[in-house]
């Protein structure tokens, strides 16, 4: 705490500019890393121009996404920064967090679109903080820049996300990043911790013919799994003072833990065989290049338990040591043509190798053999097209699997039109066909009922949909989507087995719905301002049309923030303070299975229909944003708590947390 106060005082004493303006780095001399030329005599005007320093702005610190969308570092303080100041560093409006940081997020909304043509490892409930290749950003900075996030957690731990971006020249940029946290949690045996290391390179030659971007990621996510509460009504919901200390509440497990470990090596480079520029603007007019993308990743998910528990059924051996591993290698070769008039067109062919495996072969009592691995290779053809025509922006991608059992096809197309500076409309369509994740197809466990092979009897999931986005500074933002899903695959209780209450997890299996389900989502966001006051609103409506109850989502989710913003201390500090209300209607919320690291369908218990109120005070001083929040403060006034993130897993109680985001420039 004393270090945070020291940082605050140092900043406060050095303030000289308005706090809410995007902080601008100091001036810097012209790049000395440019190629040196032969000396020559300069005239007076030339000499004056040569010695004039180059002024940098915040827009010189560029962030480039996997999709090559470019933004710049934003150091302002807005309500949207408040929504993203969390463990995931993104808006979690459609997610319901568990009581402790680093634990799973239950879904309040669904989106079936996917950029991946092939199955993933599984254990999706524990992957919320796992950086996929699409989550890695690359940088192009004028001077070294750092981004530091700190936030307190729940008992004996902190969250830190540190990122340093720098360059050796304008054309060669690097970044180093590490996100780590530890949190003991308020309940017994609920500790979580993780470490996510990333390093990136972004390089372009002087003549812009060759470009390279690459990254390495090493990630480790560990959780103690307590299995949820044993007596929800008698202890948590009782309201008795003895159980206000959540450590006294009984949980199922005291010796179980899960772990995800992954390493990835990625690079994507392009060489332009032909390149022509416009004479005056130096903009590229025509180019023809060849490229190559490589991605190699190893990952495993492990569940360990010292003493088997009948909650998951009969065990084969003791202790429980389940481990599913996946090694993948992806190579793509492409040819890319660009013309200022015709647009950008790319054709590609890819080879995907996979090896999903366990350490043994299992033969069950019926004589059925559960193999130890799924191994093979897939070959696919693909194409991409992009073109800007005045106010229109057209994009399309397509992939088709030529050989292999896992992949199918994928198509995405979008057209956007900017009516003016304040209004933009986008229409998109998508479709995909692929096998479900590997843990649906093959799984082995030391628990008897968690062994299956479904490669031959599961069909490919098929998803088709349309989406409309209307963005307006005047009318707000509206999103409407309609999706159809065939062969929807999910985890649920085996319908052929009848068990006693509380033993549902003993028969959890992957299931596939034979009927088509339809999902409709409408989301609207609008902010109203009056002086320094503002009311920010986000409302989402969902409807699922289905023959069987296999997909459960709340019908209505809303978030409303009433806040006040103002410059204080003679504009030395910019401050925001207010209250956020989040609410969703009751529904059959998915239950969590810690053995699989997955949520599963349950239709016996409706949860939700309770408000979550957060009070916050945020401030900005130069390049530092300070956050203080009282989370779920209305729980102080609830006599009988019934707020849950999943059956058996309560939502967090009232807690005060603070932290900051700090940017450095040199």
pLDDT digits (tens, 9 = 90+) for 653-663: 999 999 999 99
Q: How far is CA 511 from CA 459, 559, 598, in A?
A: 11, 34, 13
Of residues 344 and 114, the one with the higher pLDDT is 344
Could you give the percent of the chain with pLDDT greater than 70? Answer: 91
- Cβ partners under 8 Å of residue 23, min gap 6: 17, 58, 75, 622, 623, 663, 665
pLDDT band at 56 (very low <50, low <70, confident <90, very high): confident
**Structure tokens belonging to residue 503:** 């033993």
Distance CA 503, CA 33 (A): 67
Q: Which of 36-40, 152-156, 265-269 has the lowest mean pLDDT?
A: 36-40
Q: What is the mean pLDDT of residues 553-575?
A: 95
* Arithmetic mean of pLDDT over the chain: 90
- Cβ partners under 8 Å of residue 664, min gap 6: 144, 145, 146, 148, 623
pLDDT band at 38 (very low <50, low <70, confident <90, very high): very low
Given a cut of 50, whether residue 15 has pLDDT beyond it is: no
The pLDDT score that the predictor gives to residue 37 is: 35
Q: How far is CA 11 from CA 126, 273, 339, 541, in A?
A: 38, 51, 49, 44
E strand or H helix at 374, and its extent?
strand 373-389
Q: What is the mean pLDDT of residues 130-153?
A: 96
pLDDT band at 19 (very low <50, low <70, confident <90, very high): very low
The pLDDT score that the predictor gives to residue 23 is: 62
User: pLDDT tens digits for 361-405?
Assistant: 988 777 788 999 999 999 999 999 999 988 899 999 999 999 998
Q: Which domains does the chain have, with CATH numbers?
A: 2-665 (2.40.170.20)
Contact 503, 475 (CB under 8 A): no
Map 125-181 to HEC letters.
Answer: HHCCCCCCHHHCCEEECCCCEEEEEEEECCCCCEEEEEEEEEEEECCEEEEEEEEEE
Q: Is 100 helix (H, G, I), strand (E, B) or coil?
A: coil
Q: Dihedral, CA atoms, 180, 184, 190, 195, nearest 10 degrees?
A: 10
User: pLDDT tens digits for 593-651?
Assistant: 999 999 999 999 999 999 999 999 999 998 899 999 999 999 999 989 999 999 999 99
Could you give the percent of the chain with pLDDT greater than 90? Answer: 79
Task: Please give the distance of CA 640 from its chain centroid, rounded to a whole number.
Answer: 34
The pLDDT score that the predictor gives to residue 363 is: 83
The pLDDT score that the predictor gives to residue 294 is: 98
Q: What is the mean pLDDT of residues 133-155?
A: 95
User: pLDDT tens digits for 255-300?
Assistant: 999 999 999 999 999 999 998 887 666 678 899 999 999 999 999 9
User: pLDDT tens digits for 424-442?
Assistant: 999 999 999 999 999 999 9
Task: Please give the distance of CA 71 from its chain centroid, rounded to a whole number.
Answer: 18
Given a cut of 70, whether residue 6 has pLDDT beyond it is: no
Distance CA 590, CA 108 (A): 10
E strand or H helix at 12, and its extent?
helix 2-13
Given a cut of 70, whether residue 9 has pLDDT beyond it is: no
> 412 has which bridge partners?
397, 430
Please measure the distance between the N-terminal and C-terminal CA atoms of the chain and give it in whole angstroms: 27
Distance CA 352, CA 434 (A): 14
Q: Which of 489, 486, 505 has the alpha carbon at shortest distance from 604?
A: 505
User: pLDDT tens digits for 165-197?
Assistant: 999 999 999 999 999 999 999 999 999 999 999
Full-model pTM? 0.89
């Amino acid at each position: 705490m004393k270090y945070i106060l020291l940082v605050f005082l140092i900043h406060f004493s050095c303030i000289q500019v308005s706090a809410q303006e995007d902080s601008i780095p100091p001036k810097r001399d012209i790049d000395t890393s440019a190629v040196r030329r032969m000396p020559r005599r300069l005239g007076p005007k030339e000499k004056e121009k040569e010695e004039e320093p180059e002024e940098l702005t915040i827009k010189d610190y560029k962030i480039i996404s996997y999709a090559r969308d470019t933004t710049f570092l934003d150091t302002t303080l807005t309500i949207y920064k408040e929504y993203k100041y969390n463990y995931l560093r993104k808006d979690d409006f459609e997610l319901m967090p568990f009581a402790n940081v680093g634990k799973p997020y239950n879904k309040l909304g669904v989106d079936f679109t996917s950029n991946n043509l092939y199955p993933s490892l599984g254990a999706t409930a524990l992957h919320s903080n796992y950086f996929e290749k699409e989550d890695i950003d690359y940088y192009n900075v004028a001077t070294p820049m750092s981004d530091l996030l700190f936030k307190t957690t729940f008992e004996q731990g902190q969250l830190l996300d540190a990122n340093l971006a720098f360059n050796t020249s304008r054309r060669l940029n690097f970044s180093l990043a590490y996100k780590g946290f530890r949190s003991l949690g308020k309940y017994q045996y609920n500790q979580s911790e993780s470490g996510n290391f990333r390093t990136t390179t972004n390089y372009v030659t002087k003549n812009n013919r060759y470009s390279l971007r690459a990254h390495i990621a090493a990630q480790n996510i560990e959780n103690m799994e307590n299995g949820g509460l044993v007596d929800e009504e008698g202890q948590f919901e009782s309201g008795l003072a003895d159980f206000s200390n959540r450590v006294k509440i009984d949980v199922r497990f005291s010796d179980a833990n899960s772990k995800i470990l992954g390493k990835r090596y990625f690079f994507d480079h392009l060489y332009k065989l032909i390149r022509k520029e416009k004479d005056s603007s130096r903009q590229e007019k025509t180019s023809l290049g060849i490229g190559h993308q490589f991605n190699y990743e190893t990952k495993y998910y492990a569940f360990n338990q010292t003493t088997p528990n009948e909650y998951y059924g009969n065990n084969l051996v003791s202790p429980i040591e389940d481990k599913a591993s996946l090694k993948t290698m992806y190579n793509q070769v492409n040819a890319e043509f660009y013309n200022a008039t015709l647009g950008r067109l790319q054709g590609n062919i890819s080879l995907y190798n996979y090896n999903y495996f366990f350490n043994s072969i299992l033969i069950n009592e019926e004589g059925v053999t559960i193999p130890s691995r799924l191994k093979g290779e897939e070959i696919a053809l693909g194409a991409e097209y992009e073109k800007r025509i005045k106010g229109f922006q057209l994009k399309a991608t397509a992939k088709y699997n030529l050989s292999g059992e896992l992949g199918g096809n994928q198509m995405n197309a979008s057209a956007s039109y900017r009516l003016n500076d304040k209004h933009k409309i986008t229409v998109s369509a998508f479709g995909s066909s692929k096998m479900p994740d590997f843990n649906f197809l093959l799984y082995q466990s030391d628990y008897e009922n968690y062994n299956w092979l479904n490669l031959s009897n599961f069909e490919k999931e098929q998803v088709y949909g349309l989406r409309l986005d209307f963005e307006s500074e005047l009318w707000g933002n509206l999103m409407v989507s309609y999706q159809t899903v065939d062969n929807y695959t999910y985890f649920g209780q085996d319908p052929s087995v009848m068990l006693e209450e509380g033993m549902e997890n003993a028969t959890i299996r992957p299931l596939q719905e034979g009927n088509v389900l339809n999902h409709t989502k409408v989301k609207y966001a609008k902010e109203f301002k009056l002086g320094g006051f503002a009311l920010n609103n986000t409302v989402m409506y969902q409807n699922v049309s289905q023959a069987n109850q296999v997909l459960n989502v709340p019908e209505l989710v809303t978030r409303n923030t009433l806040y006040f913003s103002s410059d204080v201390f003679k504009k030395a500090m910019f401050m925001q303070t207010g209250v956020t209300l989040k609410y969703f209607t009751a529904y059959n919320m998915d239950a969590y299975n810690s053995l699989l690291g997955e949520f599963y369908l349950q239709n016996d218990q409706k949860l939700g229909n309770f408000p979550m109120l957060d009070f916050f005070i945020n401030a900005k001083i130069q390049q530092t944003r300070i956050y203080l929040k009282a989370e779920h403060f209305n729980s102080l006034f609830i006599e009988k708590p019934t707020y849950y993130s999943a059956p058996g897993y309560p939502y967090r109680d009232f807690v005060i947390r603070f932290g900051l985001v700090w940017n450095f420039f040199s």
